[in-house]
Amino acid sequence: MASKTQKALILNTLAIILLVAAIVVGNWPFSTVPTALVLLAITSILASAFFVQNQGSKSEETSGNWRIEADALTDAVLVTDVNGTIKGINKAWEELLPYAALAGTLSDIMEPLHSQSLDRQTADEVVNAVLSAPEINFTDRLNLNDGRVIERTTRTIAGSSERIWMLRDVTQAIVANNDSAMHQTMVEEDAARTAELAEQLFHAKAELEKKQTELTKLANTDPMTGLWNRRRFLSLAEEAIKASGTGQSLWVIMMDIDHFKRVNDTYGHAAGDVAIRDFSNTISSCVGDAGCVGRLGGEEFAAILKDCPVDEAYRIAEKIRSTTTEIQTKCGAEVFRFTTSIGIAPWMKGETSIEPALDRSDKALYSAKAYGRNRVVGYE
């Protein structure tokens, strides 16, 4: 099929041929040259109009149809859906992060970077916050333990349920910032970037604040019981040690459920989970404001009692033990009871961490089990 340009040329040629033919055979009253010239001009105008129309149509046809080849970009580019499932990566990403093509989710593909980050927790929290708030556009920097600085930018893709992630190694740019000849340029670029970040953060602030409590809870608590997890529990213990410099005494209580494997084997793992939750509620109720309670793993729990006399520490431990024996745990049609063994030990002045006291209370706990379980034993 002929293009519009070809059609215009054909029409122009036919018009000229007709004019010449008319003059030769005398069928047209072209008695003067001006008349012929006028008709030729009209013909040229018509041809030009077709040509202009063709050019305009061509522009309209091609506008908006261009594409960027992702593998031609020097920046690492990744596309995911709102749930973090990977839709595609370019070669630059695979060169920056070998084996990236084997990853299926955003968390998996970011793992090599996050594992090298000097602030792993913040790097993880940024990804979790973005996945929790699909409208967020965000930029941050990852400082890696090999000295590199990777700038990470993520934006939503308009009109779709996908978002784009871009990685750029800005290490050299940061080094260049120390060069006085480039200082002013870098300052201006930083100012522009700061303004852009301020705008991004302004729009993201409400959503991030909403998610902050949830992120903090997930990072610090045990999902099954709601108690402090091991990491946060140890952190609170270190804070208690620092406060003990004012003369406070600290006691550590270690406890677990007696014959917990038998509970699981007899009544099922769902019943075991209910027993753990009942036990955690009992411990929290008995300790109250006297200290903090954490789940260290499985059926093992610990409590730190702050500024607590020895008699009060043993009273609380015995209250946990006796209250536990009165619990009737229910799971479906199953109703059963269980007991607990408890070890208790003091933190010694001069110790820089809580670990020695935890070790002593753990030994006391094993002594309680050796003596027949369902009892409180102090470390000697």
Helix axes 269-287, 260-267, angle to 10 degrees: 140
Distance CA 275, CA 327 (A): 9
Average pLDDT (284-307) is 94
Model pLDDT, residue 259: 95
The CATH code of domain 230-378 reads: 3.30.70.270
* pLDDT over 90 percentage in the chain: 47
Residue 86: what are its φ and ψ, rounded to 5°? -75, 130
Distance CA 297, CA 358 (A): 14
DSSP category for residue 324? H
Q: Who's near 295: CB < 8 A, 6+ residues apart?
A: 222, 224, 225, 227, 228, 229, 230, 233, 276, 280, 301
- Extract the tokens encoding 225: 């019981």
Domain assignments of the chain as residue spans, ordered by start: 4-57, 70-219, 230-378
- 194-197-199 Cα angle (round to 5): 110
Confidence of residue 101 (pLDDT cuts 50, 70, 90): confident
Model pLDDT, residue 375: 96
DSSP category for residue 352? S
pLDDT exceeds 90 at position 30: no
Model pLDDT, residue 8: 58
Q: CB 203: neighbour CB atoms within 10 A?
A: 13
pLDDT (tens digit per residue) in 301-317: 999 999 889 999 999 99
Q: Does residue 20 or residue 218 have the better pLDDT?
A: 218
Q: Which amino acid is at 329?
A: T
Confidence of residue 232 (pLDDT cuts 50, 70, 90): very high
pLDDT (tens digit per residue) in 321-369: 999 999 999 999 999 999 999 999 999 988 888 999 999 999 999 999 9
Confidence of residue 32 (pLDDT cuts 50, 70, 90): low
Model pLDDT, residue 178: 63
Distance CA 72, CA 80 (A): 19
Please tell me the least confidently modeled range out of 27-36, 190-199, 319-328.
27-36
Closest C-alpha to 189, from 154, 142, 151 = 151
* pLDDT over 70 percentage in the chain: 79
Closest C-alpha to 122, from 42, 206, 216 = 216
> pTM of the full predicted structure?
0.46
- 272-273-277 Cα angle (round to 5): 115
Q: Which amino acid is at 99?
A: Y
Cα 253 vs. chain centroid, distance in angstroms? 36
Confidence of residue 371 (pLDDT cuts 50, 70, 90): very high
Cα 201 vs. chain centroid, distance in angstroms? 16
Model pLDDT, residue 42: 60
Fold for the domain defined by 70-219: Beta-Lactamase (3.30.450)
How confident is the prediction for the chain on average, in pLDDT? 83
Model pLDDT, residue 43: 56
pLDDT exceeds 50 at position 58: no
Sheet architecture: strand order including 340-346: 291-297, 300-306, 250-257, 340-346, 376-378
Distance CA 164, CA 154 (A): 6
Distance CA 214, CA 378 (A): 38
Confidence of residue 161 (pLDDT cuts 50, 70, 90): confident
Model pLDDT, residue 261: 95
**In the block, which residue shows the tokens 């973090």?**
84
Q: Which amino acid is at 158?
A: A
Closest C-alpha to 123, from 161, 151, 86 = 151
Helix axes 4-25, 33-62, angle to 10 degrees: 170
